[in-house]
Structure 1
C-alpha cells in the first residue's frame, strides 16, 4: 500500500506532545507533511486526496499572526479555500481542540469564525478532555458524533530521570524544611502567576515557602513578575527562576526538587505540564473547573483550588501537609501520580491516535 499522506499544521518540531503523538503513525507508514507557514500548508493541502488526512492542531497561526483585521480575513479565507479543496478531492479533516480559544487572542471574531468552520467541517474532532464540547459551548458547537477522545500522553520515560531529590534540592540551595512550589512552563499572564505569588505570601513563615519558576518569558512579562516578587508593600517572595526554555536534561532537576506543582490558570483546557508532573511523581494543584474535574477528578495526586477565591484557597492547600505529601504520605502521592503516568504512556496513546487516523482515512 503506498504511503498515506498526513499533513500536520502547525508542526512545531520542538513540541514534545506532537513528537510523541506522531510516533505510531510514522511507524505505520504515514508520510507526515509538516509545515509552520500557511504558504507551505497550502502546498501540502494541494497534494492531498482520497485516503489522506489533514490534521489541524493549534489554530492561532491562521488569524492571530495577522497585523490587522483585513489581513486576518484574507488569511482565513485562503485557509478555508485550501482545506475545502483538499476535502473536495476526498481528503479527511481532523481537528484537535487544544484550547477553548487561543490565549491572548487579538482578532477574536475571526478566530471564532475559524473555530466554527473547523467544528462544522471536521470529520473527527479530537479532544483530550472528555468535557471539551461543554467547555467550548458558549463559543461554538461540536457535533458529538464527530468527537473522539484520545488523552494527552504522559512523558513517561521521555526525559532523563537520574537526579535524586536530595541532589536536585541542593542544586537550588533548598533545605529539607523548605516548601518548594513549582510553576513550570511558559510564563504568561493567563497562567495566574500573580495569584500564585499572592498565595505563597499568605503562608506562615514557618512553612519556609520557595517558588520555583521555570519557562520562557517575554521581556514585558518578566518585568511584571519581577514586580510581583519584590512588591515592597507586601514583602519579598523567595524564588528561584529560569526565564528561558528548560532543556530536556534539566527538566528532572526542577520536578525532583519540588514538593508540589501548582497550576493557577485562569483558563485552561489541557496542560502538558500536568502530565510532566505526573511523570516525575509530583503532586499537583489545579483550578476546580468542571471540565478539569471531569477529566482528572478521580486522581488522588491532584488537589483542587476554589476559583472564586484562588489565592486563599491555594494558600490553604499549600499549608496542608497532606496536599504536598510531607513525610510518609509523599510516597503515596508519588505512587498514584506515577500510576497515572504509566496508564498514559506515550506509545500506547500514540497507537490510539494512529488507529483514529486509520479509521478516518478508510472512511474516504
Structure 2
C-alpha cells in the first residue's frame, strides 16, 4: 500500500488534463484520492498527515453551486477551510492550481475572493500554467513570488485518435477544398464570445467562403441564442453535444483555423489540443496571453477592444505557422509534464 496520499479536488473523471497530469504520480506510488463533493473531500482530508498532499484545482464547487444561496455558500466555505486547516496542522501540504482568474459566471463573488485569498495564503505551492498569472490576478489577490511554480499546460500529443485524413474529415462535415473552416471547440458558453465570432464570420468576405465549425456541449438556452446569432446567412456545421474522443480528430483535421474569442481567459486546454492537431489559432491580444505565447508563430492575435473588426481582418488573411505546432506539442509532451508535476509533489512533501 503506498504511504503517500494525494487528495485531488475536484477530480473530474472526464477531464483529460487531470488524467494526463496524474499519470506519473500514480506510477511513482502516490495513492490518489479523488472527490467531487465537499462531503467526500472532508473525509479524504481527514486521512492526510505528514508526507501527504492536497491538490486543489477549480474552486467553483465550494461556493459557486447553482442551488446555494449566500448563507449556504458561506457554510460550505467555512467547512472547507476547517478541513484544510486541520489537514495542514497534521503536516499535510497544500498545492493550488490557478485555472482561472475567477470562476466563469461567479454568483457569490465576495465569497469567491475570500476563498481565493485563503488559498493564496495557505498554499505551500501555487501552480500556474500561465507565467503572467500573478499579474493577471493581482486586482483580486496577491501571490507570494516564492510560492509560485510555473508548469505549463501539457499538449495532447498522442492522446486522441488521429487516423483520419484532412480530406476525409472535411468530407464528413460537408466541406469542400475551397471552404475556410473556422473552429470553435469546447463548451459553448456566453463568456467564450461566440457572438463576436459569429459576427466576424458574417462580415468576412463571401469570396473567402468562411464556414463556422461549432462543436461542444451546449445548454438548451445557449443553443437557442446561438441559433438566433447565426440567423440564415452564416454557414455553420454544428455539434451541440460533447464530442466523443474518436471524433475529436474530425473537427480539428477539418479546420483551417481555431479561434478563441474569449472575453476572459487565463488558460485554455483547447489551444493545446489545436496545436496537437497542427491547427493555427487566434487568441485575444491580452498581456498575460502574450507573456505565455508571444513566441509561437502559429498563433495570431485579435484586438479585444474591437473584436469583430479585428477578427474579420485576421480571418480574411491566410493562416500560417501550422508546421510550428509540432515543435510546441513535443516541447509540452504530456508525460514529460506529468513527470515534472510528480517531481513537484515529491519536493513539496519534504
TM-score interval, smaller chain = over 0.9
Q: Shift of the alpha carbon at 1:236?
A: 1.6
Corresponding position of 2:70: 69
1:353 equivalent to 2:350? Answer no
**Counterpart of 2:14 in 1: which secondary structure?**
coil
**Counterpart of 1:153 in 2: which secondary structure?**
coil
Corresponding position of 1:328: none
Report Cα offsets for 1:115-155 as digits up to 9, x if no partner. 00000000000000000000000000110110001100000
Report Cα offsets for 1:18-41 as digits up to 9, x if no partner. 000000000000000000010000
Number of corresponding residues: 349
Corresponding position of 1:28: 28
Q: Which runs of 5+ in 1 are unaligned?
A: 326-332
1:271 equivalent to 2:272? Answer no
**Counterpart of 1:125 in 2: which secondary structure?**
strand
Q: Shift of the alpha carbon at 1:2?
A: 4.4
**Counterpart of 1:93 in 2: which secondary structure?**
strand
1:165 & 1:275 partners in 2: Cα distance? 19
Contact 2:2 2:31 in 1 (8 A): no
RMSD: 0.9
Contact 2:181 2:255 in 1 (8 A): yes
Runs (4 or more) in structure 1 with deviation over 3 Å come to none
**Counterpart of 2:135 in 1: which secondary structure?**
helix
Corresponding position of 2:282: 285
**Counterpart of 2:55 in 1: which secondary structure?**
strand
1:96 & 1:148 partners in 2: Cα distance? 10
Q: Shift of the alpha carbon at 1:287?
A: 0.3
Q: Shift of the alpha carbon at 1:334?
A: 2.4
1:213 equivalent to 2:204? Answer no
Corresponding position of 1:59: 59
Corresponding position of 2:151: 150
2:159 & 2:308 partners in 1: Cα distance? 33
Q: Shift of the alpha carbon at 1:340?
A: 0.2
Normalised by the size of structure 2, how large is the TM-score? 0.99
Q: Shift of the alpha carbon at 1:204?
A: 0.9
1:37 equivalent to 2:37? Answer yes
1:204 & 1:53 partners in 2: Cα distance? 54
1:3 & 1:27 partners in 2: Cα distance? 13
1:215 & 1:161 partners in 2: Cα distance? 19
1:308 equivalent to 2:302? Answer no
1:60 & 1:2 partners in 2: Cα distance? 30
Corresponding position of 1:334: 322
Report Cα offsets for 1:85-111 as digits up to 9, x if no partner. 000000000000000000000000000
Q: Which runs of 5+ in 2 are unaligned?
A: none
Contact 2:2 2:30 in 1 (8 A): no
**1:1-364 to 2 correspondence within 5 Å?**
2-65=2-65, 66-230=67-231, 236-321=233-318, 324-325=319-320, 333-362=321-350
Q: Shift of the alpha carbon at 1:229?
A: 0.3
**Counterpart of 2:75 in 1: which secondary structure?**
helix
Contact 2:154 2:334 in 1 (8 A): yes
